[in-house]
Amino acid sequence: MEETSMIIAMMIFFIIANLALGFWSARRTKNSEDYMLGDRKMGTGVLIFTTFATSLGAGDMLGYPALGYIQGWSSLHFILAMPVVIIIMALTVGKRYYDLKVTTISDLVCRIYGENKYLRIIPSICISLGMLSWLAAQYSAFGKTLNLLTGADPLIGLLIGAALFISYTVVGGLVSVIYTDVLQGVFLAIGVIAVFIAVTMHGGGFVEVQQGLPADYSTFIGPVGTITILMFWLNKGLSRFTNFPYWQRIGSAKDSKTGIRGIILGMVVTGILGVALALTGMAAYKINPGGMSDPEMIFAEYSVSLFPKWLAGFFLGALWAAILSSAAGFLNSSTTLLGHDLWFKVIKKGQRSEGALLKDLRIITLVIGVGTLLIAWLVPSVLSLFIWAGVWLTPPLIPVLCAAIFDKKGDKIPKNYLILSMILSGIVGVVFEMVPSLKALLSGGTIPAFVTSLVIILIGAIVGYFNKNHRNNMNTPRVL
């Protein structure tokens, strides 16, 4: 009991420091742009920390060691897919997104194709649903972690975690989110590396751990197989292109080069820490082959068993840091998408004073934060919530790629095809996810949703090409 109290005390200390920094940094939030974009003054170092702190959330801290435990080196496909795709996003659209000085992804699409309420609200609603699924997963993970340590009802932990990050996110917006991410990132990086080293040494060292693994654990194909690896890259990676928190952080930088550089380096750190978590799981397999009752608890259990209790509290603070940083980032991103695109641009039609809009955004943040508790209560499975996040992020993917890369002038694809592609993509993704016989065919709804959207966009490009040529021919004067 005394040891548990010491662990809880260290974690409470972390929480107090986190809240203090969150409310202190909120003083920099002066207007709605600060609330949504962090005042566009962030440097490379801050962006690195906020990027990997947002990236490594509850599912990663719990799931990556479990993947290493049951899949060996082949788990790295799942772990590295998202960082690779986000780096590609930063390199391909980062500069254009920053230079246009837009606030959301829908702003970018409407800037290219012209203002249209469907082009504005469909991407924002879909991406927000993805963000809210991840947010609900952070709630659930917080509750499960507290239950592991104290035996308390997970609902209690869920409510405590929600109260923490909702409070400073409501007050300070993205400014508070980013600065608390720096603190959380320090906890996170130290904790992941220290636990990886300790568990690996406990298993006899890196070489002995690797030699003690099953033969198929030592290959990049491993026990999962080629098809599953392909699904990793498509499901985990491709849909993350529209993961708005990273677009938002590019927009918060002091210039486009800083934003792109910060995202790339942050994703490199994300990949390194993700690999360290997977290797921790492999070492745990060497120590206890097939005997872990719940591989998702590897990080927490070995933190408690291998370190002095005050230090274990520090490392479990790293676990809570991952949960809080991701949750606050998703909450602010959802507020930005729904508050800017749905509330301000469509419902209020841009007619809202600066002071009123900032107040509105804070209320929307509170409503979203509290409302998402219901999702976490109804769907307690962290894994299920992550899967649904990928499904919802897919519908806007192809239209966003067109607007950002392939159709920069907005004259190649009729906008109605963009709208249709997102609607049908969303329907297909949900159907494939809900119907077990269909879900088994392609590992869920992400891939069918992507293919549906792609086919419609290709048809739209063909129609747009012929329409453009027809207009040109009609406008060409005939020579008699």
Give 65-105 pLDDT, tens digit per residue.
Answer: 988 998 899 889 888 988 999 999 999 999 999 999 999 99
Any domain includes 300: yes
- CATH number of residue 356's parent domain: 1.20.1730.10
Task: Please check whether residue 100 lies inside any domain of the structure.
Answer: yes
Nearest CA to 39 among 178, 168, 244, 171?
Answer: 178
Quick check: 369 pLDDT over 80? Answer: yes
- On the question of pLDDT at 374 being above 80, the answer is no
CB-side neighbour CA atoms (13 Å) of 442 = 20
Closest CA to 341 of 31, 127, 67, 57: 127
pLDDT at residue number 184 = 80
Name the residue with higher pLDDT: 248 or 291.
248
Residue keyed to tokens 């009991």: 1
Q: Output the pLDDT for position 227.
A: 72
Per-position DSSP letters for 385-430, written without gaps between them: HHHHHHHHHSTTHHHHHIIIII-TTS-SS-HHHHHHHHHHHHHHHH
CA 107 to chain centre: 20
Comparing 459 with 317, which gets the higher pLDDT? 459
The phi-psi region of residue 246 (left if phi > 0; otherwise alpha if psi is between -120 and 50; otherwise beta) is alpha
* Residue 468 counted as domain residue: no
> Which positions ≥6 away from 31 have C-beta within 8 Å?
354, 358
Tell me: pLDDT of 23 over 90. no
- Average pLDDT on 188-201 reads 92
The conformation of residue 310, written as its DSSP 8-state character, comes to H
Selected residue with higher pLDDT from 289 and 5: 289
Is 102 inside any structural domain? yes
Burial of 306 by CB count in 10 Å (0-12 exposed, 13-18 middle, 19+ buried)?
middle
Between 31 and 385, residue with greater pLDDT: 31
> Which tokens go with 419?
């709208």
Mean pLDDT of 207-213: 92
Region of poorest pLDDT, from 33-42, 134-143, 159-168, 403-412 = 134-143
Residues 6 or more apart whose Cβ sits within 8 Å of residue 115:
none
Give 255-297 as a 3 state SS string. Answer: CHHHHHHHHHHHHHHHHHHHHHHHHHHHHHHHHCCCCCCCHHH
Gap between the Cα atoms of 186 and 280, Å rounded: 19
Each residue of 107-136: pLDDT tens digit?
999 999 999 999 999 999 999 888 887 787
Question: Taking 90 as the threshold, does the pLDDT of residue 106 lie above it?
Answer: yes
The pLDDT of residue 479 is: 46
Higher-pLDDT residue of 58 and 47 is: 47
In a domain, 400, yes or no: yes
Which pTM was predicted? 0.86
The answer to whether residue 478 scores a pLDDT higher than 60 is: no
Phi, psi dihedral angles at 42 (to 5 degrees) = -75, 140
Residue 94 in any domain: the answer is yes
- Return d(Cα 114, Cα 410) in angstroms, integer: 8
Residue 428: partners with Cβ closer than 8 Å, 6 or more residues away:
445, 448, 449, 452
Name beta bridge partners: 42.
253
Average pLDDT estimate for 209-238: 80
For 362-373, what is the mean pLDDT? 88
Is residue 431 domain-resident? Answer: no
Q: What is the mean pLDDT of the chain?
A: 84
What's the pLDDT score for residue 363?
Answer: 93
The string of DSSP codes covering 426-445 is HHHHHHHHH-HHHHHHHTSS
Burial tier of 2 (Cβ tally within 10 Å: 0-12, 13-18, 19+): exposed
pLDDT at 381: 60
Structure tokens at 20: 């203090």
Residue 426 pLDDT greater than 50, yes or no:
yes
Check residue 469 and give its pLDDT: 73
Range picked from 277-291, 315-329, 377-391, 429-443 for highest mean pLDDT: 277-291
Lowest-confidence pick of 52-56, 125-129, 290-294, 406-410: 290-294
**pLDDT for 58:** 66
Q: How many Å from the N-terminal Cα to the C-terminal Cα in the chain?
A: 98
Residue 480 pLDDT: 45
- Would you state the pLDDT for residue 181? 84
Task: Tell me, yes or no, whether 268 lies in a domain.
Answer: yes
* Enclosing domain of residue 115: 2-407
